[in-house]
Structure 1
Amino acid sequence: MSDSLPLLLRAARGESVERPPVWMMRQAGRYMKIYRDLRDRHPSFRERSENPDLSYEISMQPFKAFKPDGVILFSDILTPLPGMGINFDIVESKGPLIQEPIRSINQVDCLRQLEPEYSMPFVGEVLTRLRESVKNEAAVLGFVGAPWTLAAYVVEGKSSKNYSVIKAMAFQEPKLLHKLLNHFAESIAKYLRYQINSGAQVVQMFDSWAGQLSPIDYEIFAAPYQKQVIDLVKKTHPNTPIILYISGSAGVLERMGQTGVDIVSLDWTVDMAEGCARLPKTVGVQGNVDPGLLFGTPNAIRQRIIDTVKKAKDRIHILNLGHGILPGTPEDNARVFFEAGKTVNDLIGSDN
C-alpha cells in the first residue's frame, strides 16, 4: 500500500481511502465548449480519437478544468475493429456505421487476429503521455467494448432499437455467433493488456448492449465472454482493477458480480444500497448518480451525492454517474459534481 499512488487506483484495489474517488463516464466530450470548438476544427470523430495529439488534448480537457481522480483515454469501443479487418465510420447524430456487417461464417473466418501495437499505436502513445502528464494526481483509465456489444454493432451494422439481427443469429446460428464472440474476447484481452502495458492503471469494459439480453441469454452470450476477457487479462496483469459497466443492468447484477470483475458500475436505475446488497462484498461498486440530475440545482446534485456515498459506505466505491454525462449539461454543474465528490466527507458532516 502506498499513499503516493493515485486515490482511484488505491480505492479500486480495495485499500482504505480517505474518500471515494470521483470521475465521470464521457467526461471528455460534447458538454464542454472547449471540446465543441475543437470538434468544429476537426469534424471527423475518427480523426479526433485516432490522432494521438488530438486524443491526448481531449483526454486532458476535463482534467485541466475539474481535476477528477481519473483521466480516461479519449477513444471509442469500436477503435480496434479495423485492426481485425472490420471498417467503420462514426457519423454525427447517427452513430457508428459498419461498412460490411458480419453475417456469415466465412466473414468470421477471414477476421484478423488483433495486434494492437501495430494497428493502434496511437492508443499506446496517448496512454503513455497521459501517465507522464497527470503523474499521481489521477489514475489513468483505459477501456474497451465487451464481446457481445462489439458483436451487436458489427452484426447489426449500426445502432439498433431491438437488436433483431443479432438475436436472430443467436437463436438461428448460435455456433456462428459464438465463434465471433470468442474472436472478440481473445482480441479484446490483447487490447486491454496493451493498454495496461502502455500506462492504463485501471480499465473499464463496457458491455453497453448486454442489458438488452434476458438473464438466461446473458449467461449464454455475454457473461462467458466477459469472464474470458477478465481471466485472460488477470493471468498477466493480476493487480490491474477491472470495472464492468452495462446499461440497463438491473436484471443481471448478481451475474455481473460472478464474472471475476473487481468493480461493477451501476446505472442509475438501481438504488445504490440495493445494488450493494445484491453483490458480493468483495466486489466494489461504481456510480451511480443519474446524469439527468446534472441539469438540476447545485444543491440537488450535492444531496444526491451525499445519499449515494452514504449508501455505499463500507464498500469499495468509485463515485460516478450511472451513464455518460449528457450533451448540453451545464459545465458549472459538472464542476459542482466534482467539487461535491471531493468534499463529500464535509458535506455529510454538515448534513447530519
Structure 2
Amino acid sequence: MASALAVSPAAAFRVGSSKCSRAGRRSVAARCAQQDPLLLRVARGEEAERTPVWLMRQAGRYMAAFREYSDRIPFRERSETASIAIELSLQPWHAFKPDGVIMFSDILTPLPALGIEFDVIKGKGPRIDNPISSMEQVRALAPMDDPLSKLPFVHETLSTLRAELRGTPATLLGFIGTPWTLAAYSVEGKAERNCRRTKTMMYNNPEVLHALLDHLTDALIAYCGYQIEAGAQVIQLFDSWAHHLSPEQFAEFSLPYAERIIAAVRAKYPQVPLIFHANGGSGKHAQLAQCTADVIGLDWECSMAGARQAIGSQRTLQGNVDPMILFGTEQAIREAVTRSLVEAGPRHHILNVGHGVIEGTPEESVGLFCELARQSADILAAHGMASAAKQPVAA
C-alpha cells in the first residue's frame, strides 16, 4: 500500500459522490484489495483469507512495558505527548502483531477543545470539575473549529503511526466516544453507576440534553475528519455508556446522533470504514441492526450466533469474546475463540474481545488470542467452513 500511504487518506481512494453506497465503496476497495491490509479490507465488507484481530484497550496496564510509563507519568501527559502515545500505541503491535494498531488516547480527549476540562485521577478515573447542568453552559461551549491548534498531539500521533506502519500489514485505527457517552460524562462529571444527573436531565430537561448532544455531534464530526486527515484508516465509535440506556432511550439519545456522525463522515471520506461499538448493546440488537456503520461491535453478553441472526449474515461484526476468558487456561481460550469464529462464520468478522483487555491479563494469553486469529482459516476449515480465499472458483 505504499503509494496510497504516501498521500493523505482523504485523497487516496476518493470516489467523488457524497452518497457513495456500501456496494460502491466495496467496488472501489476491491480494485485495491491487494494493496490494503487485512483488517481494512474486512471492515470495508470485502472477502478475505482469514479473520483479522485487534483488541480494545490492547495498550494497557496488563503489559509490563506499558506500566513503565503509567506508573510514573499521569494519564493526560501520556496521551497528549505524542512521542509517548506513539510508543504506547505500538507496544502491543510489536509484542503480539494484531492486525490493527489503535491510537493511544481517550474518548474525553476532544472535550477541552470545547471548553470542558477534565483530569484523570489514578485509581478513580476521569473527573470534570464543572459538569454541564444548564442550557447556558451548553450555549457557551466552543465549536471544534481548529483541532490542529487545539489538539496538535492527535495529528502528530496518528501521522507518525501511519508512517511507522507503512509497508506493514497493520491497519491504523482512530476512535471517538459517541455523543451520548461524552454527554453523560460531561453531565455526571465522573463515572457514575446510575447515571443519575444525566437521567434526571433526560426526564426533566430533555431539551438541554438534546442541545448538548447536538453540539457534541457537530464537534465529533470535525474531530473524526481530523483523525482521518492525520492518517486513521478506520474509526471506531465507542458508545461506552450505552448500558445506561433502555432500547427506547438508546433509539432517542444515542443512535440518531451516532448516525449523524456516520453519515457526515461517510459523505466526505467514503473510503474509511466506521465501527460502532455499544457497551451494553446485547439487549439492543433490533436497534443495532438499523445502524449504518460498516462494522457493528458486540459486547460479550450476547452470543455471536444470536447477533449474527439478528443483525444479518452480510453485516460485518466485531467481537465478542469475554475478556475474562484471557485469565483462563489455554484450552478455555481456544474454545472461546473457536466458538466466536464458528458462530460468526468465515466472512464479515473481526475478532475482538467484547470489552477492553482487563488489567492483570496474562500477556501470553493476548498473544495466544492473536495467534488463533492467524490460524482462523484452518480452525474454520476444521469445522467445515472455508474462507473466501479457499472457495472453489466457478467456471
User: For this pair of structures, how many residues does the alignment match?
Assistant: 351
Tell me, in whole angstroms, the C-alpha distance in 2 between the residues paired with 1:349 and 1:298.
Answer: 21
Pick the aligned partner of 2:147 from 116, 121, 128: 116
* Corresponding position: 1:325 with 2:357: yes
Contact 1:207 1:246 (C-alpha < 8 Å) held by counterparts: yes
Pick the aligned partner of 1:216 from 248, 262, 276: 248
Tell me, in whole angstroms, the C-alpha distance in 1 between the residues paired with 2:171 and 2:279.
Answer: 24
Q: Counterpart amino acid of 2:35?
A: S
Gaps of 5+ in 1: none
The offset of 1:345, in angstroms, is 2.2
Contact 2:323 2:353 (C-alpha < 8 Å) held by counterparts: yes
* Corresponding position: 1:89 with 2:119: yes
Higher mean displacement: 252-261 or 150-159: 252-261
Contact 1:305 1:344 (C-alpha < 8 Å) held by counterparts: no
Task: Give the corresponding residue for 1:147.
Answer: 179
- Correspondence 1:109-258 to 2 at 5 A: 109-114=139-144, 115-135=146-166, 136-258=168-290
Pick the aligned partner of 2:137 from 107, 116, 119: 107
Pick the aligned partner of 1:78 from 84, 108, 111: 108
Pick the aligned partner of 1:297 from 329, 336, 360: 329
Contact 1:84 1:112 (C-alpha < 8 Å) held by counterparts: yes
Task: Give the corresponding residue for 1:27.
Answer: 58
Contact 1:24 1:320 (C-alpha < 8 Å) held by counterparts: yes
- Correspondence 1:259-278 to 2 at 5 A: 259-278=291-310
Spell out, residue by residue over 1:156-182, the C-alpha distance to the aligned partner (whole angstroms, 9 max, x if none). 110010011101101110111100000
Q: Counterpart amino acid of 2:86?
A: Y
The offset of 1:350, in angstroms, is 5.2
Tell me, in whole angstroms, the C-alpha distance in 2 between the residues paired with 1:139 and 1:104.
Answer: 41
Tell me, in whole angstroms, the C-alpha distance in 1 between the residues paired with 2:224 and 2:286.
Answer: 24
The offset of 1:348, in angstroms, is 4.0
Contact 2:101 2:170 (C-alpha < 8 Å) held by counterparts: yes
Q: Counterpart amino acid of 2:195?
A: Y
Q: Counterpart amino acid of 2:63?
A: M
Contact 1:170 1:177 (C-alpha < 8 Å) held by counterparts: yes
Tell me, in whole angstroms, the C-alpha distance in 2 between the residues paired with 1:126 and 1:117.
Answer: 12
The offset of 1:257, in angstroms, is 2.6
Contact 2:42 2:316 (C-alpha < 8 Å) held by counterparts: no
With normalisation by structure 1, the TM-score equals 0.97
What SS does the corresponding residue of 1:99 show, helix, strand or coil?
coil
Tell me, in whole angstroms, the C-alpha distance in 1 between the residues paired with 2:185 and 2:82.
Answer: 25
Tell me, in whole angstroms, the C-alpha distance in 1 between the residues paired with 2:270 and 2:376.
Answer: 31
What SS does the corresponding residue of 1:41 show, helix, strand or coil?
coil
Q: Counterpart amino acid of 1:312?
A: A
Tell me, in whole angstroms, the C-alpha distance in 2 between the residues paired with 1:259 and 1:113.
Answer: 26
Contact 2:48 2:347 (C-alpha < 8 Å) held by counterparts: no
Pick the aligned partner of 2:370 from 335, 338, 343: 338
Spell out, residue by residue over 1:87-111, the C-alpha distance to the aligned partner (whole angstroms, 9 max, x if none). 0000111110002000011100100
Higher mean displacement: 277-286 or 1-10: 277-286
Aligned structure 1 segments of 4 or more residues deviating by more than 6 angstroms: none
Higher mean displacement: 256-265 or 224-233: 256-265
* Corresponding position: 1:14 with 2:45: yes
The offset of 1:186, in angstroms, is 0.6
Gaps of 5+ in 2: 1-29, 385-395
